[in-house]
Amino acid sequence: VPEGQNAANCEGCSITMELIFEGEAWLSIAFSEDGKMIGSEAVIGIPGSIPQKYMLGGYDVSVIQLMPEEQQTLTDASITATNGQTIMKFTKLMSEPGEIEILFGDNEFLWAHGSDATLAYHGNNRAAFSLDLAAAGAAVAEEEVTDPTDPSVEVEEDSVNVPDAIQDPSGGQDCTVNFCDNELTTGFL
Q: Return d(Cα 69, Cα 51) in angstroms, integer.
A: 13
Model confidence at 123, in pLDDT bands (50, 70, 90)? confident
pLDDT at 3: 67
Q: Does the pLDDT of residue 174 top 90, yes or no? A: no
pLDDT tens sequence across 8-39? 667 788 899 999 999 999 999 999 999 999 99
Nearest partner of 93 among 110, 79, 72, 66, judged by Cα: 72
SS3 state at 4: coil
Helices (H), 41-158: 133-137
Backbone angles phi, psi at 121, to 5 degrees: -55, 135
SS3 state at 48: coil
How does DSSP assign 68-100, residue by residue? PGGG---EEEEEEEETTEEEEEEEEES--TTSP
pTM exceeds 0.75: no
pLDDT tens sequence across 137-157? 543 333 333 333 333 322 223
Helices (H), the chain: 133-137
pLDDT tens sequence across 47-104? 999 999 999 999 889 999 999 999 999 999 999 999 999 999 999 999 999 999 998 8
Is the Cα dihedral 111, 116, 117, 118 positive or negative?
negative
